[in-house]
Amino acid sequence: MANVYLIGEPQLNWEELNRFLEGRDWEADTVSDAEILCEVMGRVCYDSFDAHNNQNITRTRKGNKEYLANVIAQGHESVLEHASVSFVFTGVSRVFTHELVRHRVGCAVSQESLRYVRLNPSTIQLVSETDSGIDIHGAFTKIMEEYSELINSIDWSGLSHAEKKEYSSLLRRILPQGMATNIGWTANFRTLKHVIELRTSEHAEAEIREVFGHVKCVVASKYPNVFGEG
């Protein structure tokens, strides 16, 4: 079963932010640091903290929700790239991770290595989809039995670290893509909005649609002014 952990998010340096804001008639809403960061960066572009410093404007939008809603509606989402969040996904398949790493712009990825991590056959789990009548579990069990025989045929205690790494590297080539693994993934808000839209579509692959459905719920709750609509 897949699990989603939000382990990192922006934290503002309020001392420096307040120093920058001296002389500007603007106060931050009581929202997340990530949403405030996006708003501040957007207001920097037009010096729109108030209607005094920029003589080309006569009024400014008040409030983080209204401001970010207009930014998104206008398609000026580059300011959303300033905020990034980090997730760890566990119990996902390598089918999932192969699809996830296709999203490269605005992302960082750190995946569990099967070269350095020797897996215990008895703990390897299958991440399966709905029952289609194909005996996936039976086929997986046979593969794991063969993998276990190979693991047990090696005298691991007599191997150096480099040799263990070499053997693990070879053994991973027979492991199925449907086995469970772990991956860390960081994305900025602009990319995250795009990935959620694509991967929660009815046309998306079942597992990644389920995982990003969970991701969408998490970020919509924490950052409603960016992800709360739709």
Left, alpha or beta for 63 (phi > 0: left; psi -120 to 50: alpha)?
A: left
What phi and psi values does residue 30 have, to the nearest 5 degrees?
Answer: -85, 80
C-beta contacts of 200-205 below 8 A and 24+ residues apart: 205/95, 205/96, 205/99
Integer angstrom CA distances of residue 112 from 45, 92, 177: 40, 11, 13
Catalytic hit among 19, 190, 199, 209: 199
What's the one-letter identity of residue 86? S
List for the chain the helix, strand, coil content (%; round to 5). 50, 15, 35
Q: Determine whether 199 is an active site residue.
A: yes
Nearest to 100 by CA among 159, 36, 187, 23: 187
Residue 41, classified by CB atoms within 10 Å of its CB into exposed (0-12), middle (13-18) or buried (19+), is middle
What phi and psi values does residue 86 have, to the nearest 5 degrees?
Answer: -120, 130
If one counts every other C-beta atom within 10 angstroms of the C-beta of residue 33, the result is 16
Nearest to 50 by CA among 71, 67, 34: 67
**Which residues are tagged catalytic?**
199
